[in-house]
Structure 1
């Protein structure tokens, strides 16, 4: 067992840092104010080849693993953009994974190169108002018609639907009550976001203003047969391929944001003089920051363990879920402590830590709640009776 990064992984950190560091605090503060999608950042990451880090080489990607993707997302999170910068890239990694794993060769060649090059932007329609984390209860329905399907229904928290031209859409094609199992009867499509048939309504929210979230309403959206991924009715099982990687990536992002906040707090503590001494000399300041360093490092070790297991085709669900739990909490507390360290100016936008705190909050809420993670570990690891 060793903890060294490979030469390629070191190069990933350095290469990503070279791009991300061009976008300073004032850029991300402006995006937090105006809510404009960070197109310049998205373009720079595409030109650097980073949008395709996990995509197959034959379609322009680098065909690297979750460990490399986690290192990349952690580095992005450490440079001041918060979840706005992370989500701009994250959405390209394992969201389209059903295409990579289950798409037909023609579909892969039609869709993946455009995603890698940043020519297409995709949003994801999964969550619904009356389903939440119980995906089996979605009601958006795709009705078979000549040449394809017509979709009616509603989705919530559809990220980047304001700017996307494509959507990965999860629907029912068989009513739940007619299926042998609740997880049967769901189908995934990747298709054009036809705004004449889809009403996109922005959801104002606490943070990550530059990467929009939306309620979307589908009124007989026609989806061609060739835009269905895999078999009809197998969509839920295709979704499972991307769940553990997504948890690992969200954890790596939260840790990166926490590391950014911690570095800002330590710098401020070493410079701020009160009562004739720097505040960093006081243990009441030192100890919480030191504790955050330990928490962030421990969470990162769990991310790397989970990523290693995934990349080596080993079961990793407990580690992926634990990574998301620990990483989000460590990042959140580091940002909170950074505000406390700054005192009153921590509440001011000028010092950026209040923005990082608002941004990192999302990682504790999505893509799965802490309570569901703990219930999963209780049942699957500790072998306790299912609690929900």
Structure 2
């Protein structure tokens, strides 16, 4: 990260480019395969170590958005890929630094109601033929493998999660079955809309069981939310460290601006938010690595993601205030990090859905939907 400093990430953002140089060195150094078990040549580490890496990238001014898909998708593969599939892809992933960066779940009409997806995998012998449309699928132009969520049974109002299946798609073998359209966004997200036309996969490409893939999907989404919480803790640390240093150095009316309570109090509150979100993140990570209760893991993953994102958003705006007009300048990096943080107030799960989840499933209040 000393080599890939704030100036590098600002340039990638300005040009809306994938950080290829950083990514090549990151993966080439072995960071891409840390979650792959040792028996296949990986480091055999866990979600906690992956989260620490993502947190540190963001704390030092980078944007771990470009690499986090590799980690939460590998967490999914460790849990739900068959032994045969692991033996087929894991050694190759380690040897050739292959990537599984993208999860294709979201659809234009379904949005946050994931069980309403309409992308359909029709069974034909030992194969499935998949047709559908996905939106806001990140890094799909850079990945070797795509985790694709589709229905293998039509939607049933009484059994909403039944009929969802997950597949691992080898993107290197495609010839026009997946069309991509770039979506320009507020920050540099490398996001795409996908049109899936008669894509063929085999039964061996299934992740988990046919029609019962929602359990595996939860495992992936919980890992994703926890890792994003770690990234947002990193962003909070970045904003706070920069703002505190500046408030000590910047002098107005003959004294440091950090001597003023109008500056001190927001920074102190940002620090308390950091401590709260860090503690919640640790609880979520501990539960993820020791429990098989996806319901409880999901609750803590949601809380960690909610609190960490709120903390980062607050700290980012405090930093903008502390820096004044300078914070608005692109070269500093503060405004870029604020834009990058804003995404996670609504994705991959919105604040209101997290609040509804706590109300319905923890407090046992009547369902609002």
Residue in structure 2 matching 1:119, options 89, 98, 122: 98
Q: Look up the match of 1:135.
A: 114
Q: In the TM superposition, what are the counterparts of 1:1-388 in structure 2 within 5 Å?
A: 20-81=1-62, 85-116=63-94, 118-177=97-156, 181-193=159-171, 194=174, 196-207=176-187, 209=188, 211-313=189-291, 315-388=296-369
Structure 2 residues not aligned, in runs of 5+: none
The CA deviation at 1:180 is 6.2
Tell me, in whole angstroms, the C-alpha distance in 2 between the residues paired with 1:183 and 1:132.
15
Q: Any idea what SS the aligned residue of 1:92 has?
A: helix
**CA deviation profile, 1:145-203 (whole Å, cap 9, x unmatched):** 344122111001111122223211111111114x8611111111111232511110011
Cα 1:225–1:317, aligned 2, differ >3 Å: closer, same or farther?
A: closer
Residues 73, 100 of structure 2: 8 Å contact kept: no
Tell me, in whole angstroms, the C-alpha distance in 1 between the residues paired with 2:90 and 2:235.
29
**CA deviation profile, 1:305-329 (whole Å, cap 9, x unmatched):** 1111222226333222111110000
The CA deviation at 1:61 is 2.4
Cα 1:121–1:232, aligned 2, differ >3 Å: closer, same or farther?
A: closer
The CA deviation at 1:297 is 1.2
Tell me, in whole angstroms, the C-alpha distance in 1 between the residues paired with 2:310 and 2:269.
12
Structure 1 residues not aligned, in runs of 5+: 1-19
Residues 201, 216 of structure 1: 8 Å contact kept: yes
Tell me, in whole angstroms, the C-alpha distance in 1 between the residues paired with 2:213 and 2:74.
13
Tell me, in whole angstroms, the C-alpha distance in 2 between the residues paired with 1:36 and 1:121.
19
TM-score, normalised via structure 1 length: 0.89
Residues 150, 221 of structure 1: 8 Å contact kept: yes
Greater shift, 304-313 or 52-61, is seen at 52-61
The CA deviation at 1:114 is 4.0
Residues 47, 75 of structure 2: 8 Å contact kept: no
Residues 174, 185 of structure 1: 8 Å contact kept: yes
Q: CA RMSD in A?
A: 1.8
Tell me, in whole angstroms, the C-alpha distance in 2 between the residues paired with 1:87 and 1:114.
24
Q: Any idea what SS the aligned residue of 1:157 has?
A: strand
TM-score, normalised via structure 2 length: 0.93
The CA deviation at 1:340 is 0.8
Tell me, in whole angstroms, the C-alpha distance in 2 between the residues paired with 1:226 and 1:322.
35
Tell me, in whole angstroms, the C-alpha distance in 2 between the residues paired with 1:29 and 1:340.
20
The CA deviation at 1:255 is 1.1
How many residues were matched structurally?
363
Q: Any idea what SS the aligned residue of 1:154 has?
A: strand
Q: Any idea what SS the aligned residue of 1:93 has?
A: helix
Tell me, in whole angstroms, the C-alpha distance in 2 between the residues paired with 1:322 and 1:47.
34
The CA deviation at 1:119 is 2.3
**CA deviation profile, 1:181-237 (whole Å, cap 9, x unmatched):** 111111111112325111100110001x1x411110011112233322232211212
